[in-house]
Structure 1
Amino acid sequence: MQDDLQQAVQFAVDHESLWDRHVDGAWGVHVNDPPPWNRLLGPVHDRGPASGTIAVDGRVLAAWGEPDRADLTFSVAKMYLALLAGVAHDRGLLPDVDEPVRVRVPGIGFDDARNAAVTWAQLLQQTSEWQGTYFGLSDQADHYRAVNFAAPPDGRKGDPRPLQRPGSYWEYNDVRINQLSLALLHLFRQPLPEVFREAIMRPAGASENWQWVGYDHAWVEIDGRRMQSVPGGTHWGGGMSVSANDQLKVAQMLLDEGAVAGRQILSREWIARMRTPCEIARFYGYLIWLNTDRKIFPSVPASSYFGVGAGSSFTWIEPERRMTVVVRWLNPAAADELFGRILHAVDALHAA
């Protein structure tokens, strides 16, 4: 019933993120890092209120807060990097994700003995164990990283961890994701925000009211053009600022298996790969969170999958219900209950 939907929306409003709305307060991920990594390297901005939107078959059922406000979405940007890898795959730039990265983009940190075996698929699944620095930022910064939806690590954040064979160990590591972004930049030889705009956002019907920026010093020159490498989140600043309504357009494209208004903008094959569980971390696909065996969010179906960002931001795709949901600035402790409430409300509307 409509009352159930309103109550779900009120629940989201009542369980707003504990982060301050202003960046000079208790705000961000970097504040929990040990020195020297506990500082911003790129621009950030104040956040808006708890916001979001719920749609079924592309029809918006509810919206709250400021769904048109472009807000930092943190690691939901990882999902966007996975979409860009799909664009590269569909264009023939990345025909084999199991090929070592160094084959197509030599000279950017994958050529030494430690990293020579690292593949694109391992980077996309966060199993690469890549070792090095991304514009001076060491992968060690995210060793023993704790995340809400995975088992706790057995070490202290930022301490050096004995590295395993690439592909044999899962770790949520923002530096390695940023290194993937740098590799994609060299693969496209074009700034990733430009590729994302022309290949994904405009075809999906999104507005132009978004931006994806990098760290202040993260610039390279390719083919005589100076380009900024963008991160897969906002851990150390920068990242993707985008509205809930624009994120909903991307979610709808994923729900429709890469099609928008009858036009295939991303292959079904790639989206299927994104949703395939990693063998050693079955809750994870290609930079998206999977609800395999309903372990992450017990209140919603196993078919659901998510882009998740600190703060917290969620993009939720639920294929069985033809439902897309974007939630911004939610206390993550309330996520499962909120999603269960939304699911119940949508089912009640359908049954009415």
Structure 2
Amino acid sequence: MQVVKRSIFKLLLISFFTLNISAQEIYFPASGAWQEKEAAAYNLDFTDAVEFAKANEYSESKDLRQAILKGFQHEPYHEILGPTKRRGGPAGMILKDGYLVAKWGDIKRVDMTFSVTKSFLSTTALLALDKNLIADFEDPVINYVWDDTFEGEHNSKITWKHLLQQNSDWSGELWGSYDWADRPPKEGGIDDWRNRNLNEPGTHFKYNDVRVNVLAYSLLNVFRKPLPSVLKEEIMDPINASSTWRWFGYENSWTTIDGFKIQSVSGGGHSGGGMFINTEDMARFGLLFMNNGNWDGKQLISEKLIEEAVQPSIPNENYGYMWWLNADGPRQWEKVDKDIFYAAGFGGNFIIVDRKEKLVIITRWLEPSKVEEFVQKIYN
């Protein structure tokens, strides 16, 4: 009996140390610091990829106000409603096991990040579900938002999941912007776009910033406090992010909740606003997702929800909960692992997460058409 007890104790001891060593495999940077290692220590060489990123800067104006107006000039009624900022040059970081193994450009400079913001927004939705503020993403949003945002036969069917996967086909106007005027088809005109047939929620993917902003507004109604405050308290402070990031809405995207005037943030910089952040803080956010929502032993987002967020949606196999997926599909990067997922924004802003190889790749102001080649250089 004594021998059996000693054997059990030995197995428990081995298990404890194995788990402890496993937990220590990932390095989590303290506030204002980041330990560096040579890529060669992992038998890796990112020299070609870094030089490629520096040599293929986003080709449009550094005056992002002008770049935005040019990029969306085909949209009726498009205008700048939120703040913008003149951008810096190419910048980036590559993490291996959390350690900084490559960097270029000014990684402390705060810049707009456009639709990378969507992955921060979907994270607040994960938090709402974790905290039981939302019971189920399959719930109709009208059960949580009492005003007329989701009234009507079509909009009342829309669930949280539909909004997160951008397949809701929500129809209406928010903050002076109409859903049909956002990235309209090349064919037809205003009357055609306004009077289109609506798709059943969950059946048709459409990248649409107005509907993303509807999600942000709906989450604001659930939390009853500004989403930047939620993100700061629940995610950015615990991962030791800097105090320099900001998340903006529009000059007209204000609402009153509990007697307080609160700005509803935007999910991108399509009309200005969105997340303004430095490269280091983007890398911390990516590292959290690479480690399945766990930061140095503290589970900030449940692992189950992280996994759910990166599952393909039915109408778009390359899109989850506002994360792009490298799964089989038209947007897949060739010769790169299919399990990689990433946040992507206008102007060549990317947070790329590889959980298998424990890599996080941040690149900023890379010509968007060159990103696949850039990523291939990292892996080949």
State TM-score, norm by structure 1: 0.91
- Alpha-carbon distance in 1 for matches of 2:188, 2:375: 31
| 1:23 pairs with 2:64 | yes
- Alpha-carbon distance in 1 for matches of 2:226, 2:333: 35
User: Which protein is bigger by CA-based radius of gyration?
Assistant: 2
- Alpha-carbon distance in 2 for matches of 1:207, 1:117: 40
| 1:206 pairs with 2:241 | yes
Q: State the Cα deviation string for residues 153-172 of structure 1 (Å, max 9, x = none).
A: 67469734422111111111
SS in structure 2 opposite 1:306? strand
- Residue 32 of structure 1: CA displacement? 2.7
The letter for the 1-side match of 2:91 is S
- Alpha-carbon distance in 2 for matches of 1:172, 1:163: 15
| 1:51 pairs with 2:51 | no
| 1:307 pairs with 2:343 | yes
1:112-261 alignment, distance < 5 Å: 112-144=152-184, 155=187, 159-160=193-194, 161-261=196-296
- Is the CA contact (8 Å cut-off) linking 2:65 and 2:84 kept in structure 1? no
| 1:88 pairs with 2:128 | yes
SS in structure 1 opposite 2:100? strand
Note the residue ranges of structure 1 that are not aligned, 5 or more in a row.
Answer: 145-152, 345-352
- Is the CA contact (8 Å cut-off) linking 2:202 and 2:314 kept in structure 1? no
Aligned match for 2:355, one of 316, 319, 324: 319
SS in structure 1 opposite 2:203? coil
- Alpha-carbon distance in 1 for matches of 2:186, 2:72: 21
CA RMSD, aligned part only?
A: 1.7
| 1:33 pairs with 2:51 | no
| 1:329 pairs with 2:329 | no
In structure 2, the CA distance between the partners of 1:50 and 1:108, relative to structure 1 (3 Å rule), is farther
Identity of aligned residues (%): 36
Q: State the Cα deviation string for residues 187-217 of structure 1 (Å, max 9, x = none).
A: 0000000001001111111111100011001
The letter for the 1-side match of 2:63 is H
In structure 2, the CA distance between the partners of 1:28 and 1:335, relative to structure 1 (3 Å rule), is farther
In structure 2, the CA distance between the partners of 1:193 and 1:108, relative to structure 1 (3 Å rule), is farther
- Alpha-carbon distance in 1 for matches of 2:90, 2:230: 30
SS in structure 2 opposite 1:247? helix
Number of positions where the alignment pairs a residue of Structure 1 with one of Structure 2: 335
- Equivalence for 2:25: none
- Residue 27 of structure 1: CA displacement? 4.4
- Residue 339 of structure 1: CA displacement? 0.3
- Equivalence for 1:5: 46
- Equivalence for 2:4: none
- Equivalence for 2:102: 62
- Is the CA contact (8 Å cut-off) linking 2:255 and 2:264 kept in structure 1? yes
SS in structure 1 opposite 2:114? coil
SS in structure 1 opposite 2:228? helix
In structure 2, the CA distance between the partners of 1:143 and 1:335, relative to structure 1 (3 Å rule), is closer
- Alpha-carbon distance in 1 for matches of 2:73, 2:102: 35
| 1:338 pairs with 2:374 | yes
- Is the CA contact (8 Å cut-off) linking 2:65 and 2:85 kept in structure 1? no
In structure 2, the CA distance between the partners of 1:97 and 1:319, relative to structure 1 (3 Å rule), is same
- Equivalence for 1:150: none
Q: State the Cα deviation string for residues 227-253 of structure 1 (Å, max 9, x = none).
A: 000010000011110011101001000
Aligned match for 1:298, one of 334, 337, 353: 334
